[in-house]
Structure 1
């Protein structure tokens, strides 16, 4: 990742694991959650983390404590809204981080000065840049090596990479760019959102301020955007608001690209009317794909009303057109599996996943350029969930009929029914029946006359408290019926 050292990435992952854990963790528990490394290395990293924390302890607006309540157990305790200072301190020990951040801000790194400042040889710097180049190639970025070290890429790719790097390492505006820079960028970000008359939160201001810094910094260094024919066609197709007066130093193209970036990000409730130009092959393909997507989607889920069709089509256009500006393989989503872990989703909602997977397979088989959609699968799943809720579409096509027999009150029997329903509602459609003869599964908390049970019916005796073992046994019967 960006040429960062294994040690740096390990520390980052350990911090994130400790931060989300409510309980103290042993070194072995941390190792299991990491899924890599070993206990000796992790313990060494934890000791290093304590040293980092001691360096920032007592700073205003930030206080964090790594607790060791029991020998060999660790818990991260913090008293602030984020861990930015800690992350920046960890990353700042890594040469790759310093190289990239300096390049993003100044656009040039002077070899001699950098080597003297960081007390490294020119050969070490060269090897590090070679490593960085290997890991940022997917972003269509390379770094040249000489007396002057610079980005070697299209200006738009440099700006996109700059955002991805800052977002991936900081999740917000880095303090390293200077104490006055962040307030200024936040001010302009809020002005943009007010100018566009769209709702916003402090987080949306923060993320937009990163983009505005990247653009403003590039403009101040006379870096100009140039677009491909496809990109230009897309920009021309949008009806875009006029550039505001407070961006007098920006070109119209810079402003238009910022708007399209906001639109494609799906972070802002921004509507940019799209005029379909029949002369544009790019937009022709987008419309054809959009129509096919909606037709197949409705066949697997349900027909949408006109309003939802329009909103879904608008979202589809965002994802489709973003491909022409951003390499999806390099999107921040690649490094945010914690947002939507696909294995966890499949396990939690198997029926919804199966329905989506069948839809996606048929769609991909019918498009002309399947590679275009390689990294759109997860964004499209999230988009579809907005229009087809899991609660409504996450059930299997057939019901499972269940008869519940208890030796307690009717009220308690109803409670058990609700407990069973809530436990399995995202996986199975359970229909409680009043007659034994209508049931596929009979669940009883009391002795039951087995003469009433047919050979094609399943029978299960459970505790009246419905313990975990009872739920697991019932799940096995559900799975058996679904096979």
Structure 2
């Protein structure tokens, strides 16, 4: 992400892997999952992470156990790993370079080298790595006596906000030089001006965006939209600019309002009239989106079509406005695709049909950010449980009626959040047969799986049932 060191990335990925496991993870498995670095580098980062945790946390709060024979285990009392992640990212030299240049816009090279204790050649190399990542945003940094950042002003502001939001998350994690009460007060006043009913958390996000925007205003950085962008944004009617935003232009205010509106992930309930802008701009992507969605999922009712169309249009606007790169999303993993595929294969199969159909028409949306945000929108419109796979089971047990009922209830409840299980009275209808003894093989079809269970239904029994269900689902999808 933006050229952060490989050491920082490894530490973040180590925490992600370990946080998804409750037991020890063999070191060789950790190395295998971090396939972009050799085992010496991974072990070095692991040892550094161990020392950082031991230095900054009490064992009962957060600890990393490294056992020569069993592997590595992470313990977190409250599940809060973000403070640790914020600590080692904010100590990364690249992050310090980025934040310094974004805040100051023009930084003496010699002074930055002295502050960060790096040579001029090292700084040049770091800037070259940063520019590779910034190219996604049409932004770059130049090196001479001063380091400057160039590119579309709205993208520079978004990059600044993205770093604040993804790394710091809240004002309290920012340096003491930031006037936190000022931005908290400004966030409250903006909410009042826009009649937003915002939670404390939402106001915190808004305060970070205001911080990024106000920094630019104070540095006399003006927004420089293209003629087409200016025409597009002018079609969106927004409330008047409040007087307390001294020094802000109408374009600065418009930028903020549209950012709040398109950032549906923040949960702001801001409503704008899109009638004119939707008529002005091309609406074909939204039409193709709706058609692709109906093809893969279900017909959209006439009553909800306008609501969904606006939701889709806002989503596509967000894709253009917050054009986040793949490296950033992979770094912070807001949606774990591998887990989604494993837990909800039916739903993800339908989503893939929808998405491939849509991007075949509009390949410019074929990005990790767009796919992730549209998956979240799809889940918002059609809940995951709507497409839980239906699996029929047959209980082949020589037990009392109440004991058999107990087994069926245990199995159904255990898999309630993933599958729609139906116990049938006819073994021929079932895909999975469970029972306290093995049925005659002559009674089974080749596509049926029989699992022998104990009367107490152990965790191992449930695990074997799960594997049989997953095999049946694979057969259904294929």
Shorter chain as normaliser: what TM range?
0.7 to 0.9
Choose which of 386, 389, 393 in structure 1 pairs with 2:383. Answer: 389
Shift of residue 142 of structure 1? 0.5
Could you tell which deviates more after superposition, 250-259 or 74-83?
A: 74-83
Shift of residue 149 of structure 1? 0.8
How far apart, CA to CA, are the structure 2 residues paired with 1:57 and 1:178? 22
Shift of residue 214 of structure 1? 0.8
TM-score, scaled relative to structure 1: 0.83
Contact 2:57 2:63 in 1 (8 A): no
Aligned pairs (5 A) from 1:281-300? 283=281, 285-286=282-283, 288-300=284-296
Contact 1:349 1:426 in 2 (8 A): no
Shift of residue 21 of structure 1? 5.6
Shift of residue 171 of structure 1? 3.3
Q: Evaluate the alpha carbon distance shift between residue 201 and residue 279 of structure 1 in structure 2; reply closer, same or farther with a 3 A threshold.
A: closer
Shift of residue 318 of structure 1? 1.4
How far apart, CA to CA, are the structure 1 residues paired with 2:319 and 2:466? 45
Shift of residue 383 of structure 1? 0.9
Structure 2 residue runs without a partner (length 5+): none
Contact 1:402 1:443 in 2 (8 A): yes
Contact 1:3 1:135 in 2 (8 A): yes
How far apart, CA to CA, are the structure 2 residues paired with 1:71 and 1:187? 52
Q: Deviations over 1:102-121 (max 9, x none)?
A: 11111111012222333333
Aligned pairs (5 A) from 1:108-187? 108-173=106-171, 175-187=173-185
Count matched residues: 469
Could you tell which deviates more after superposition, 95-104 or 418-427?
A: 418-427
Q: Does 1:359 align with 2:349?
A: no
Q: Deviations over 1:285-340 (max 9, x none)?
A: 22x32233223423432233455333322221112123443434369545333x22
* CA RMSD between the two structures: 3.6
Contact 1:27 1:39 in 2 (8 A): no
Structure 1 residue runs without a partner (length 5+): none
In the alignment, which residue of structure 1 is the partner of 2:396? 405
How far apart, CA to CA, are the structure 1 residues paired with 2:273 and 2:310? 9
- SS in structure 2 at match of 1:246: coil
- SS in structure 2 at match of 1:219: helix
Contact 1:352 1:393 in 2 (8 A): yes
Shift of residue 167 of structure 1? 3.0
Q: Evaluate the alpha carbon distance shift between residue 245 and residue 405 of structure 1 in structure 2; reply closer, same or farther with a 3 A threshold.
A: same
Contact 1:237 1:275 in 2 (8 A): no
Contact 2:168 2:174 in 1 (8 A): no
TM-score, scaled relative to structure 2: 0.84
In the alignment, which residue of structure 2 is the partner of 1:13? 13
In the alignment, which residue of structure 2 is the partner of 1:242? 240
Shift of residue 405 of structure 1? 2.9
Aligned pairs (5 A) from 1:310-389? 310-329=306-325, 332-337=328-333, 339-365=334-360, 367=361, 369-375=362-368, 376-389=370-383
Q: Evaluate the alpha carbon distance shift between residue 435 and residue 379 of structure 1 in structure 2; reply closer, same or farther with a 3 A threshold.
A: same
Q: Deviations over 1:325-382 (max 9, x none)?
A: 3434369545333x222232222222212222222333334x3x43245442222221
Could you tell which deviates more after superposition, 11-20 or 205-214?
A: 11-20
